[in-house]
DNA sequence: CGGCCCTTTGACGGACGTCAAATAGCGTGG
DNA sequence: CCACGCTATTTGACGTCCGTCAAAGGGCCG
């Protein structure tokens, strides 16, 4: 699927159990007044949502940030496999747990953290998730970062204008470099400190 | 367990798979700087967390709001039962899905809604959940509401002072009556409007 | 009756949003 | 290859929502 395209609209029915192979996807909620909140980013290797195994209903607008390829499994088939293989079920349970934990952490961040903390934590979270996939380069710490500033704003509950100020502050403080859809963490300790983490 | 007592501290190990029989519980995250965020309220009939079936690790501080009684099931036993009875698994999957959905909705509210909306939505959410259990009286719409204003503040990411202002505004607008740990919704339509819902 | 916790109220401050305009990138078509 | 238009970034001035601080009532329990 092409970048910046809607993959699935809100309240639609998923065609099966999709897994992201390449690219980044945003799961976005839209309110009446037009405000948007990104509930999660899906990275390569991520399942769209574990709940789709049992409820084919998509809760959020799914939007391709980059070009995306995904593979769609058959629900019934996969479900049968899950019950047949004990180890596979545990893997699935872990993914499930991880999803919920991410959502709860997001709520805590949005409820009780300041703007800089939120942005710093978003960057660090994405970094950690990409690290598990071997998608982060070491010395310097570098990874693909296709998010626009409005993605960051929608994910952190801020405005693009304010996010922009925070990013330039981070740059000026020598914490990160960000250009060409690529992010370099120049001062990991400093960034973690900004994230209170 | 007695009201206002800690049931389980953060990062502890649950003794099994607990179900709340009576009373209200708050699942709370605490940050270094002392700020708190309530991630969910547990009402009578709620499972503490579906993930405890597979990972006995408690992520949040569990605090009794009222006196609480709960029943603790054996993990292994329940897990076996789950795979044996097909219908039971679906019920479980629904509870799982519901938990995640609640967490995501909370994130959206905290990220993109104003203070009044958040408070109104909290009240309506609790009302809907209590309704399913038959714990809401009709004409007038009335239910037990044991939350202190600081609970509301911690759940909505606000301060007690500001929450207080909102509640008096709701009272002055004739939307609710709140006293003696009991809440009457006097103008459901108005409250829903305040919640943009 | 006294102490503690909770609620209520007011004045003030700050973090973040809004509005606006200029600049910079980026893709598309001639 | 250049020109054009759209979209994204950047910057500044100003506004507002909500937080902070402080103090004065209420309620409840010992």
Query: What average pLDDT score do residues B9-37 get?
Result: 93
Q: Among partner residues A36, A100, A156, which is closest to B99 by beta-carbon distance? A: A100
- Place A31 in a pLDDT band, splitting at 50, 70 and 90: very high
Angle at A157 between CA A154 and CA A162, to 5 degrees: 85
Give kind and range of the element (H or E) at residue B164: helix B160-172
Its pTM surpasses 0.85 = yes
Mean pLDDT, all residues of chain A: 94
Distance CA B34, CA B113 (A): 24
The answer to whether B97 contacts A51, with C-beta atoms less than 8 Å apart, is yes
Contacts of A55 in chain B (CB under 8 A): 93-94, 97
CB atoms closer than 10 angstroms to residue B158: 20
Beta bridge partners of A47: A19
Q: CA B99 from chain center: how many Å?
A: 11
Spell out the long-range contacts of B28-31 with Cβ–Cβ below 8 A and sequence spacing 24 or more.
B28/B60, B28/B61, B28/B62, B28/B63, B28/B154, B29/A104, B29/A108, B29/A112, B29/B60, B29/B61, B30/B61, B31/A108, B31/A112, B31/A113, B31/A196
C-alpha distances out from residue A158 to A30, A165, A170, B107, Å? 14, 11, 16, 13
pLDDT at A3 over 80: no
- Place B114 in a pLDDT band, splitting at 50, 70 and 90: very high
How much of chain B exceeds pLDDT 70, in percent? Answer: 100
A64, A101, A43: which is closest to B59 by C-alpha?
A: A101
pLDDT at A194 over 90: yes
Query: What average pLDDT score do residues B102-126 get?
Result: 98
CA-nearest residue to A84 within chain B is B83
How much of chain B exceeds pLDDT 90, in percent? Answer: 86
Distance CA B30, CA B33 (A): 8
Query: What average pLDDT score do residues A115-123 get?
Result: 98
Between A8 and B112, the more confident residue is B112
Report the pLDDT value the prediction gives residue B173, as an integer from 0 to 100. Answer: 96
The separation, in Å, between residue A161 CA and nucleotide C21 C1' comes to 14
- Place A193 in a pLDDT band, splitting at 50, 70 and 90: very high
pLDDT at B143 over 90: yes
Distance CA A156, CA A33 (A): 18
The separation, in Å, between residue A114 CA and nucleotide C15 C1' comes to 9
CA-nearest residue to B90 within chain A is A54
Q: Which token pair is A121?
A: 């934590």
Q: Count Cβ atoms within 10 A of the Cβ of residue B138 and give its class: 0-12 exposed, 13-18 middle, 19 or more buried.
A: exposed
Report the pLDDT value the prediction gives residue B139, as an integer from 0 to 100. Answer: 86
The distance of A35 to chain B (nearest Cα, Å) reads: 7
Q: Which nucleotides of D are covered by protein (CB under 7 A)?
A: 8-13, 17-22, 28
């Amino acid at each position: 699927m092409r970048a910046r395209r809607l993959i699935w609209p809100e309240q639609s029915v998923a065609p099966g159990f999709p897994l992201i192979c390449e690219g980044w996807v945003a799961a976005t909620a839209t309110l009446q007044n037009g405000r948007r909140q990104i509930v999660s980013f899906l990275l390569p290797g991520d399942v769209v949502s574990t709940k789709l195994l049992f409820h084919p209903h998509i809760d959020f607008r799914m939007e391709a940030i980059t070009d995306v390829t995904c593979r769609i499994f058959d629900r019934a088939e996969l479900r049968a496999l899950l019950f047949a293989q004990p180890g596979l079920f545990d893997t699935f349970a872990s993914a499930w747990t991880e999803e919920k934990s991410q959502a709860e952490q997001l709520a805590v961040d949005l409820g009780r953290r300041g703007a800089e903390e939120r942005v710093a934590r978003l960057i660090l979270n994405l970094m950690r998730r990409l690290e598990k996939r071997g998608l982060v380069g070491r010395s310097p710490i570098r990874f693909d970062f296709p998010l626009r500033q409005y993605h960051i704003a929608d994910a952190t509950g801020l405005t693009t204008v304010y996010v922009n100020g925070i990013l330039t502050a981070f740059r000026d403080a020598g914490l990160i470099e960000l250009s060409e859809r690529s992010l370099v963490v120049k001062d990991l300790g400093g960034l973690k400190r900004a994230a209170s983490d």
